[in-house]
Structure 1
Amino acid sequence: MNDATSHPSAVGTPSCAPLLPAAAPRESTSRVIAEALREAIIDGTLAPGAPLRQDAIARHFSVSAIPVREALRLLETEGWAKVAVHKGATVAPLSADEAREIYEIRSALESLAIGLAIPRHTPATLRECAVLCEAAEREPDPSLYVARNAAFHMSLYAPAARPQLEDLIRVLHRRGERYLRLKFGLPSYKGESDNEHTELLDAVRRGDVPAAQSLVAGHLLGTGKLLHRFLTERAQAEAALANRPKPRGRPPRTTTGS
């Protein structure tokens, strides 16, 4: 018998096959934890700067510290968490520059996607787009609106049949979700966004590629600029408040005997 095929550590041999799936349970556990934390960050349950304590998370999920560390490492690589030596992990802060950049990249990718998709749309796919557009417009709940907004956008690009492009766009949708929720503090902009969706759908129905690309780019770049301005102004206001001198208390009154 050949030593290369009988040795249990030989790469690519049948004896190694049963060992490969062994890491799957822990990996899936860490991903489940990461997804739960991600959802809590998106919906605001975990606020920017909130601590992500490994021991508390491990107790909550009834797991050891290992999958929690892996989950936090994954969130850090995706930009959801910040990990500092000797300080632990915290929820990443909202960033005006990040918000703007996410929507700048989305505008480029989604302009490409919609141009590829329009020639391949059918009456059935256009009906689906219309249903999803109306569902997003009527949705008052921020959590559900974010999902319906993403579903509408992705329905416009689905006929392009570009899975890698769609995956990139979905990742950016996820990264932008907690920023998009800020629009609900600005109701007039929600209505403006819905009107832009309707105009975009009309251009897709007409098969007008240049108009659709211009509309989707303007829609996304406008959102990025709005969020950048809102977050910048909020940060400036918070800084001004923090630097405001504290009023001095009045000196205690003294009394004299009569």
Structure 2
Amino acid sequence: MSNATDGFPLADDSASLPPMPAVPRSSTARMIADAVRAAIVDGTFAPGAPLRQDALARHFSVSAIPVREALRQLESEGWAKVEVNKGATVALLSAEEAREIYEIRSALESLAIGLAIPLHDACSLRTAESLCKAAARELDPSRYVARNQAFHLSLYAPVVRPQLAEMIETLHRRGERYLRLKFGLPLHKGESDAEHVAILDAVRRRDVATAQSLVAAHLLGTGDLLYRFITERAQADAAQAEPRRARRTRASHSGS
């Protein structure tokens, strides 16, 4: 896939997303959504970049219908913004959204871990421990997102609460590209991995109150970190852009 970040990478013949196999339309839409989501997570599609329906359809050799369905799915998950007469674009990163996602996750996952602890057994705990170690070792941002989610969900796996599980998984998906930003802050990833170990230890000891407190603090802390990081980066970008705007203004006035 092209590394272009302004404009639409899939419009380039050199794009290298995998070809689409022959599958039912609903599966086709899901696979297109997965491919575009992965491109957003790995930074190939920049925030604000257009997601042209015609380019996607040509790339995957499909009609416009599954592409529209894929874009609607991405919009519902917070990855894309679709406007009438303007088309779809990659949703902008939002400090407020990042913080809110983690605030809601802290409430839901505190509930889930409290329900799950009495139901854990030796097998489920071994699975959680293995996933915890895998996430700590992972240095690739895209794979870390998946390993981090797998570890968190393993903590709640014994609970049979379909609606709770669905809400948690949806929030994980919406937070994927924000979580990836932690790789720009390596110290904080190390702290996060240590917090995972502490949470797992509380689960193993069946200490519900401590596990809930640690999960809440872990997620709220991540939300606050991302809020500060995105806000500070936006302020720095605005400060860098101001001299360019001033030069353009002066050039415009001098030419008039």
The two structures have a TM-score, normalised by structure 2, of 0.84
Q: Which stretch shows the higher mean deviation, 37-46 or 223-232?
A: 37-46
Tell me the equivalent position of 2:51. Answer: 52
Q: Distance in 1 between matches of 2:91 and 2:138?
A: 28
Matched, 1:246 2:234: no
Q: Distance in 2 between matches of 1:125 and 1:70?
A: 36
CA contact 2:182–2:188 (8 Å) conserved in 1: yes
Tell me the equivalent position of 1:233. Answer: 232
Q: CA deviation at 1:193?
A: 0.3
Q: CA deviation at 1:156?
A: 0.7
Q: CA deviation at 1:39?
A: 1.8
Tell me the equivalent position of 2:207. Answer: 208
Tell me the equivalent position of 1:155. Answer: 154
Tell me the equivalent position of 1:8. Answer: none
Tell me the equivalent position of 1:109. Answer: 108
Tell me the equivalent position of 1:165. Answer: 164
What is the SS of the residue equivalent to 1:159? coil
Q: Which letter maps to 1:223?
A: T
Q: Distance in 2 between matches of 1:30 and 1:126?
A: 36
CA RMSD of aligned residues (A): 1.7
Q: CA deviation at 1:32?
A: 2.2
Q: CA deviation at 1:113?
A: 0.3
Matched, 1:138 2:144: no
> Any gaps of 5 or more consecutive residues in structure 2?
1-22, 252-256
CA contact 2:77–2:173 (8 Å) conserved in 1: no
Q: Which stretch shows the higher mean deviation, 116-125 or 75-84?
A: 75-84
Q: Which letter maps to 1:142?
A: P
What percentage of aligned pairs have identical amino acids?
74
Matched, 1:93 2:115: no
Q: Compared with structure 1, are the counterparts of its residues 62 and 157 closer, same or farther at alpha carbon in structure 2 (3 Å cutoff)?
A: same
Q: Which letter maps to 1:146?
A: V
Tell me the equivalent position of 2:222. Answer: 223
Tell me the equivalent position of 2:117. Answer: 118
Q: CA deviation at 1:163?
A: 2.4
Q: CA deviation at 1:121?
A: 0.9
Q: CA deviation at 1:85?
A: 2.9
Q: Which letter maps to 1:208?
A: D
Q: CA deviation at 1:27?
A: 2.8
Tell me the equivalent position of 1:69. Answer: 68
Q: Which letter maps to 1:104?
A: E
Moved over 3 A (4+): none
Tell me the equivalent position of 1:29. Answer: 28
Tell me the equivalent position of 2:192. Answer: 193
Q: Compared with structure 1, are the counterparts of its residues 211 and 74 closer, same or farther at alpha carbon in structure 2 (3 Å cutoff)?
A: same
The two structures have a TM-score, normalised by structure 1, of 0.83
Q: Which stretch shows the higher mean deviation, 121-130 or 205-214?
A: 121-130
Q: Distance in 2 between matches of 1:43 and 1:129?
A: 26
> Any gaps of 5 or more consecutive residues in structure 1?
1-23, 250-258
Q: CA deviation at 1:48?
A: 0.7
Q: Which letter maps to 1:182?
A: L
Q: CA deviation at 1:26?
A: 2.8
